[in-house]
Amino acid sequence: MEKEKITEEKILKGKPGMLMLFVSLLLMIVGTLLIVVGGIRMEHGGPGAGIILAVSLILGIGLICVGIVMLCGLKVIHPNEALVLTLFGNYYGTFYEPGFYWVIPFCTAVNPTAGKQEALQQEGKGKEVSVNINLSSSGSSKIVSLKTMTLDNKRQKVNDEMGNPVEIGTIVIWKVKNATKAVLNMENYKEFLSIQCDAITRNAARNYPYDTGNGSDEKTLRGSSQEIADIMQEELQKKVLEAGIEILDVRITHLAYAPEIASAMLQRQQAAAIIDARQKIVEGAVGMVEMALDQLSKNQIVELDEERKAAMVSNLLVVLCGNKDAQPIVNSGSIY
């Protein structure tokens, strides 16, 4: 039977830390004084001195031990941080409010990503790696950050809808919304987010072409990057909901054809652009020729038969559609 995931969290309101710190120090001082008083009593001798010493030692050592144990229950929470606690293997509660608190000393802070995070951050920095890893065993290093963070999903090569290999890279702006779910429902919520981001990026690239090149309204990775990024954000949010993560934004930072086909695709894009430009030029030239013939006929400047009209249309199209400037030939005689 599958174990039920933690869906409800308990917000803790711990006891004031300064008060419990004072009580702990007071117990340790009183315990020390009892031991000193018992030793002084033993030096002066008298009836029952040994019993008084034994009782003083037991009470003094007991109070000192209680004070030391109570000190272990002090917790410091900074702004935009959370602390998830368990007690004897069971979920105890979560701190969200910043401050100095005291909880039952046997409560244990939980954050499976703490040690791995510190090790990755200090990788390649020599001795600092081992120092930070050792600190990860303490409760203070197992704080869950609620700050806004960025996941840089590096370039990955995928095939678009048309089967063309493309390189795509994304960034994800995210933060932990529910620290209890992030820590107790996932082994490593940061690694889980990274894997889900890879899957969503690949799925988006497969569902859309890089570019259609035919001027259609179909969504493409290049022409509709913002719309596709919004779709990716919505899908990614659904995937990481159980991890207590909120996706604030998704952006496509890199998009290009793979190097092996980039040159061919560039030629294809250039050819398509030339064809589109030629089509516009021809449409404009035909309109101008039609307007010229209409004006000549309307104003009765010159009457042209069908053969002369055809020659005139041919000459105008050559002038208007040519790549280079036309070299006119002046006819000083009759046009017939």
More confident residue, 322 or 37: 37
Is the pLDDT confidence value at 11 over 90? Answer: no
> Residue 77: is its pLDDT beyond 60?
yes
Are 161 and 228 members of one domain?
A: yes
Verify that 238 and 163 share a domain, yes or no: yes
Q: Residue 176 belongs to a domain with what CATH number?
A: 3.30.479.30
- Vertex 199, ends 149 and 4: CA angle to 5°? 80
Please tell me which residue, 336 or 41, carries the higher pLDDT value: 41
Question: Could you give the CA distance from residue 201 to residue 195 in angstroms, rounded to a whole number?
Answer: 10
Q: Is position 327 within any domain?
A: no
Q: Which of 320, 325, 308 is nearest to 281 (CA)?
A: 320
Q: Is residue 9 part of a domain?
A: no
Q: Which of residues 145, 165, 191 is at a domain's end?
A: 145
Cβ atoms of 179 and 110 within 8 Å: the answer is no
Decide if pLDDT at 138 tops 60.
no
Terminal CA-CA length for the chain? 100
C-beta of residue 172 within 8 angstroms of C-beta of residue 250: yes
Asked if 102 and 18 count as a contact pair (C-beta separation under 8 A), the reply is: no
Residue 309, pLDDT score: 67
Residue 285 in this model has a pLDDT that exceeds 90? no
Determine what percent of the chain is predicted with pLDDT higher than 70. 68
Instruction: Go through the chain and tell me how many residues it has.
Output: 336
232 in a structural domain: yes
Q: For residues 82 and 162, state if they share a domain.
A: no
Distance of CA 106 to the CA centre of its chain: 35
* pLDDT class of 175 with cuts at 50, 70, 90: very high
Q: Classify residue 51: in a domain, yes or no.
A: yes
Alpha helices in 96-178 (DSSP H): 114-121, 128-135
**Residue 2 or 235, more confident:** 235
Residue range 206-232, pLDDT digits in tens: 888 877 765 566 788 777 788 888 888
Alpha carbons 105 and 83: distance in angstroms, whole number: 14
Cα four-point dihedral sign 275, 277, 283, 286 = negative
> SS3 for 165?
strand
- Do 155 and 244 lie in one domain? The reply is yes
Determine, yes or no, domain membership for 239: yes
Q: Quick check: is 41 in a domain? A: yes
155 and 251 fall within a common domain: yes
User: Which of 56-70, 116-130, 261-275 is the most confident on average?
Assistant: 56-70
Whether residue 331 is contained in a domain is answered as no
Chain CA centroid to CA 86, Å: 28
Top pLDDT among 258 and 27 is at: 27
Buried b / exposed e along 108-131 (16+ C-beta atoms within 10 A): ebbbbbbbebbeeebeeeeeebee
Domain identity same for 30 and 82: yes
pLDDT at 185 over 80: yes
Query: By mean pLDDT, which of 58-67, 193-202, 312-321 is the weakest?
Result: 312-321
Confidence of residue 59 (pLDDT cuts 50, 70, 90): confident
Q: Is 209 left (phi over 0), alpha (psi -120 to 50) or beta?
A: beta
220 shares a domain with 160? yes
pLDDT (average), residues 295-320: 68
Query: 104 and 50 share a domain?
Result: yes
Window from 95-99, 130-134, 209-213, 237-241 with minimum mean pLDDT = 130-134
Q: What percentage of the chain has pLDDT greater than the value 90?
A: 6
For the chain, what is the domain count? Answer: 4
Q: What b/e readout covers 222-238, taking b as 16+ CB neighbours within 10 angstroms? A: bbebeebbebbbebbbe
Whether residue 21 sits in one domain with residue 93: yes
In a domain, 176, yes or no: yes
Whether 208 and 281 share a structural domain: no
pLDDT for 194 beyond 80: yes
Domain identity same for 203 and 163: yes
**Alpha carbon distance 72, 25 (integer Å):** 12
Instruction: Enumerate residues 6+ apart whose C-beta is below 8 A from 122.
Output: 128, 129, 132
Residue 126 DSSP SS3? coil
Tokens, residue 55:
């009782």
Whether residue 158 sits in one domain with residue 139: no
pLDDT at 43 over 80: no
Domain ranges, residue 54: 15-110
Contact at 8 Å (CB) between 253 and 170?
Answer: yes
Contact 160, 209 (CB under 8 A): yes
Pull the structure tokens for residue 216.
């259609």
Q: What is the mean pLDDT of the chain?
A: 76
The H helix count followed by the E strand count for the chain is 9, 10
